[in-house]
Amino acid sequence: MNIKDVYINYVEYGNKKGKPIVLLHGWGQNIEMMNPIGKGLEKDYRIIVLDLPGFGKSSEPTYGYTIYDYYELLCEFLDKLKVKNPILVGHSFGGRIAIIYSAKRKVEKLVLLSAPFRRSTKKNTFKVKLLKFMKKVPVIKELEAYMKTKIGSTDYRNASPMMRTILVNTVNEDLTEYLKNIEVPTILIWGDLDTAVSVEDAKYAESIMKDAGLIIYEGCTHYAYLERIDQTINVLKSFLGGK
């Protein structure tokens, strides 16, 4: 699909008659990082996963996107697919896009996985901890080679000049007011060892949102949803199946 001179690679699978779930990956990642969730929910839901512009098989933006440009592109993408009132699931950078979308447009429910919403003063030091977890968790071990080249400061070093500009444009945008304006039921899933987005930030997000619940995975990092993928799927089935 082409939107604003950008080619968007995406996959769609699952139950065509089910409610649409849109999965948004983090910075430096791609469709494969969200498919473990999609595959766990495909029986009952219509699953839509895209490579955000500049990642995976999607082309780079033609100018220095801000987080609001990604939001507008997502709007057009879902409009073209005739998707209304989706369930949004966003990890990290994808969660930032999901926050804005959920505050400005209709969604049924929202799931934020270690999603940053305000400027962090901490360095991304979670890489070593995360790679240790990969040895123990089968679903992550399969993605180990890919993630080794995509996590932490490697993102910036490997990025093209355009994507470096976009990283700077998007990373420091404060989305706190958007969180306050989200009306729909929201689940926050965080790892207590997340040094990219602290669990204190997660607790603050829960406190300012109108209808949010926080689930903390002990001993897990910025990729908590993958480190305990079975638990994540069970949590989502319960959350999404409720009214």
Residue 242, pLDDT score:
52
Residue 134, pLDDT score:
52
Residue 135, pLDDT score:
52
Residue 148, pLDDT score:
47
Cβ-in-10-Å burial (0-12, 13-18, 19+) of 149 comes to exposed
Residue 142, pLDDT score:
58
Q: What is the DSSP string of the chain?
A: -EETTEE--EEEEE-TTSPEEEEE--TT--HHHHHHHHHHHTTTSEEEEEPPTTSTTSPPPSS---HHHHHHHHHHHHHHTT--S-EEEEETHHHHHHHHHHHHS--SEEEEES---S---S----HHHHHHHHTT-HHHHTTHHHHHTTSTHHHHHHS-HHHHHHHHHHHT---HHHHHH--S-EEEEEETT-SSS-HHHHHHHHHHSSSEEEEEETT--TTHHHHTHHHHHHHHHHHHH--
Residue 170, pLDDT score:
86
Residue 202, pLDDT score:
96
Mean pLDDT by 10 residues, the chain (243 residues): 94 96 95 96 97 95 94 97 97 97 97 89 48 54 52 59 87 92 97 93 96 96 95 96 61
Residue 147, pLDDT score:
53
Question: Which domains, and CATH codes, for the chain?
Answer: 2-241 (3.40.50.1820)
User: Closest by alpha carbon to 87, among 213, 236, 209, 222?
Assistant: 236
Residue 124, pLDDT score:
44
Enter the pTM of the model.
Answer: 0.85
Residue 160, pLDDT score:
83
